[in-house]
Structure 1
Amino acid sequence: MKFSFGKRERDKDAKTILFVCVQNAGRSQMAEGFFRKYAPKGYEVISAGTVPTSQINPIAVEVMKEVEIDISKQKPKDLTEDMMRNATTIINMGCMDDKFCPALFIPKVIDWGIEDPKDKPIEKVREIRDEIEKRVLEIIDSHQDQNNKIPI
């Protein structure tokens, strides 16, 4: 049996991890890229924003290419009720905008509190990228340690 998840059909048994931030242009896109690369079988990943921009931060694309992950074809997406309802785990990347912070709209969200890479020099964006990779790997390791459960 399948259910609709955006424009793609997803396996109803797949667990979906949703990474959210305000603009869906940097942090959440990098997290989606890392999770897609490292995720165990049976997991889907998506990212979205409360006020998405028209394109991904080009410096985020560049620093991800440095670690051989291409996020250039990913697009910023609006956070929808269906995304929230269908997600197994929702991770907020951090709130720099109190008015549109995803944590205000989402119950049971994990907040990572990661700095926004917007308008930051490439060296800082690399640090942010590395922190996101570390956290994604931690969540995947926790999954493997807890009998196929990603902690919430």
Structure 2
Amino acid sequence: MKVLFVCYANVGRSQVAQAYFDKLSQHNSDGAGIAVNDLIAKGNLSSGKLKDVRDNRSVVYIRRAFGVDISEKERQQLTPAMIDQADLVIVIAERDRWPDYLKEGGKVVFWDIPDGVGQTDEFVHDVFGQVQRRVEQLVEEIG
């Protein structure tokens, strides 16, 4: 089974979900963001590796919580092909931001977990904790 984790910028929630899922599960996974290209074009997000994102707390959190270094990982823009290739798509982005080709139902599942951008460290850690708990439930369900 291949699971695709999607958030807004492919910087925080989807990265934590994928890293933890990979630690707990033998299934394949990938991650993407619904607005990576738009954010880069507007200058709101640097292109390239996660380590280049200013104040990227997910890189530090994942290293501490899971012992995994994702700093060299590249962010990816979500595409319809990525959805087609996945068996299960977990979307952790606000529904009003979804592209037209991404619709809940079938293999697309929505996790209602807030974005931590611009929030306190405590809030961000709570967000990442929510992601971890949902991943644990997912792994329990699919094996």
TM range (shorter): 0.7 to 0.9
Q: Report how far residue 49 of structure 1 moved.
A: 1.2
**Structure number with higher helix proportion:** 2
TM-score (ref. length: structure 1)? 0.74
Q: Report how far residue 106 of structure 1 moved.
A: 1.8
Residue 22 of structure 2 is aligned to residue 36 of structure 1: yes
Aligned pairs for 1:89-108 (under 5 A) are: 89-95=88-94, 98=96, 100-102=97-99, 104-107=100-103, 108=105
Write the deviation string for residues 22-55 of structure 1: whole angstroms up to 9, x where unpaired.
Answer: 2111101111111111112xx2110111211435
| Alignment RMSD (CA, Å) | 1.8
Residue 58 of structure 2 is aligned to residue 60 of structure 1: yes
Q: Which runs of 5+ in 2 are unaligned?
A: 37-44
- Give, as a single letter, the amino acid of the residue that structure 2 aligns with 1:106: L
User: Matched residues in 1 for 2:25 and 2:14: separation?
Assistant: 15
Residue 16 of structure 2 is aligned to residue 20 of structure 1: no
Aligned pairs for 1:58-137 (under 5 A) are: 58-67=56-65, 68-95=67-94, 98=96, 100-102=97-99, 104-107=100-103, 108=105, 109-137=108-136
Q: Report how far residue 69 of structure 1 moved.
A: 2.8
Q: Report how far residue 138 of structure 1 moved.
A: 0.6
Write the deviation string for residues 36-83 of structure 1: whole angstroms up to 9, x where unpaired.
Answer: 11112xx21101112114354511111222212322122210111221
1:48 maps to 32
TM-score (ref. length: structure 2)? 0.78
**Structure number with higher strand proportion:** 1
Matched residues, percent identical? 27
1:148 maps to none
> Number of residues paired by the alignment?
125
User: Matched residues in 2 for 1:76 and 1:118: separation?
Assistant: 16
Paired residues of 1:30 and 1:71 also in contact (CA < 8 A): no
Q: Whose RCO is larger (CA < 8 A, sep 6+)?
A: 2
Q: Report how far residue 89 of structure 1 moved.
A: 0.2
Q: Report how far residue 140 of structure 1 moved.
A: 0.5
Paired residues of 2:80 and 2:101 also in contact (CA < 8 A): no
- Give, as a single letter, the amino acid of the residue that structure 2 aligns with 1:38: L
Q: Which runs of 5+ in 1 are unaligned?
A: 1-14, 145-152
| Partner secondary structure for residue 33 of structure 1 | helix
